[in-house]
Amino acid sequence: MDLALFDFDGTITVRETFAGFVRASVSRRRRWLGGAALAPHYLGYKLGWLSGERVRRRVVAVALRGRREDEVRAAAARHVDEVVSAQIRPQARARIDWHRARGDRVVVVTANLDLFVARWCEQQGLEYISSRLESRDGMLTGRYLGRDCCGEEKPRRVREAIALDRYGCVYAYGDTPEDRALLALADRRFYCWQEVD
């Protein structure tokens, strides 16, 4: 049995889904106020001054703090069913099916939030490793539970959850510089759907 590790946003999907999910899960008022508060962070990210991890943390703090976890999960489920399911890259679906037909273990490894990506992975019968949010008494605190699952955190989480030496070959698929550390774990690496050394 081989192991296949897939990034989600931009690799399995045709575009990033995090921002769309956040927009779909908040009220118009919070979206408007949050957009104003987050504008400098988006600009800093576009200019390369701020990391994606830092911006995601700020977005979560502004958009999801004080929200009921069950309401956000319900909004995430609707967004996955109504929007994201139509954004799955045919090439990714075919490759996941190819791995499954071979009997490989397929795991999605993503910085996206578990309360969002869990819906799609569970529908597909796939395992996932993702960022998690802190919740107290059913309310989201606006903070991550542990680190954002990006960059060097991806391979750390994979090694923590999976004994890599049990697999004949490890495949990894990603599409951004944040995925390079994940790809470094693999025997066969695919960056933007091209195999690389």
Q: Determine the pLDDT at residue 181.
A: 97
Q: Determine the pLDDT at residue 184.
A: 97
Q: Determine the pLDDT at residue 73.
A: 92
Closest CA to 153 of 197, 191, 120, 109: 109
Q: Where are the beta strands (DSSP E) in 81-186?
A: 105-113, 127-131, 133-136, 139-144, 170-174
Is the pLDDT confidence value at 118 over 90?
yes
Q: Determine the pLDDT at residue 122.
A: 95
Phi, psi of 120 (to 5 degrees): -65, -45
Residue 133: which residues within 8 A CB-CB, separation 6 or more? Answer: 60, 64, 69, 113, 114, 115, 140, 141, 143, 144, 145
Q: Determine the pLDDT at residue 82.
A: 93
Q: Determine the pLDDT at residue 127.
A: 98
> Beta partners for 13?
88
Closest CA to 64 of 149, 150, 145, 139: 139
Instruction: Read off the pLDDT of residues 5-40 as tens digits, 9 standing for 90 and up.
Output: 999 999 999 998 988 888 888 777 767 676 767 777
pTM confidence score: 0.89
Q: Determine the pLDDT at residue 162.
A: 98
Instruction: Read off the pLDDT of residues 28-86 as tens digits, 9 standing for 90 and up.
Output: 776 767 676 777 777 787 888 877 778 888 888 888 999 999 999 999 999 999 999 99
Separation of alpha carbons 4 and 17, rounded Å:
21
Residue pair 147/60 in contact (Cβ under 8 Å)? The answer is no
Write out the H or E segment, with its range, that includes residue 120: helix 114-124
> Mean pLDDT lowest for which of 15-29, 57-71, 110-124, 174-188?
15-29
Is the pLDDT confidence value at 137 over 80?
yes
Which percentage of the chain shows pLDDT scores above 90? Answer: 74
Q: Determine the pLDDT at residue 44.
A: 80
Q: Determine the pLDDT at residue 47.
A: 81
